[in-house]
Amino acid sequence: MDNQFIHELKEGYRIVFTNLELLEQAFTHSSYVNEHRNMRLEDNERLEFLGDAVLELIVSQYLYNKYTNLPEGKLTKMRSAIVREDSLSKFAKECGFDQYIMLGKGEENSNGRQRPALLCDLFESFLGALYLDQGLQSVVDFLSKVVFPKIEAGVFSHEMDHKTTLQEVLQKSGDVEIEYQLVKEDGPAHDRKFLIEVYSNGTLIGEGSGRSKKMAEQEAAKVALETYLANKKKE
């Protein structure tokens, strides 16, 4: 396995594999195995199968504990957004995994290193290998650095309403009074426009407009959430 990658795992995520063969297998694509049959290598497909199950369990538990007021349907929808192909492929690239997967020449030449499905499988394979090497808590710790902050930042908030997301974020450290106030209503009956302001403990944190009060409240919550997250990044 590439020494630079081993160093990056240690420095970036405090991960040191006991069994480096597991790590190597996680980064071995079937196309590479097919072109190096004499080396008796194993591809990462079985690890992908395991990693998929581990990922779904951990994300499910995280969402269950974090969003205590969300019904099953919304939890399922949000989990699906987190573990789907395009999301996992982005996580893999952000971790630099795309640089180290071993591909066959054909797959390499067809830009396989950037293919979302391949990167998604790679991310799951790594989780499977990490689970076998160090146990469930190590996978939780890794996801706490890579995936959970994205959830906290509202990256997947479009899968649930912005008002719920804002409430969860603001009340993370304790009770907060959130109030929506109708500021203005104008326009003809068939094309009304509403302006809503949202307050947190009496402080204005966002405003939004829409063709209904509900739409305006959602827009106000979205603006407030974006402002809050932007300020958090500056801290």
Whether 235 is catalytic: no
Is residue 29 a contact partner of residue 101, using CB atoms and an 8 Å limit? yes
Q: Beta strands 193-200 and 203-210: pairing type?
A: antiparallel
Is residue 185 a contact partner of residue 192, using CB atoms and an 8 Å limit? yes
Q: Which residue has the tokens 């190590």?
A: 138
Give the containing element (helix H, strand E) for 208.
Answer: strand 203-210
Looking at 24, 43, 124, 217, which residue is catalytic?
A: 124
Looking at 52, 133, 197, 217, which residue is catalytic?
A: 52
DSSP 85: H
Backbone angles phi, psi at 195, to 5 degrees: -115, 125
Whether 52 is catalytic: yes
Active site positions, annotated: 52, 124
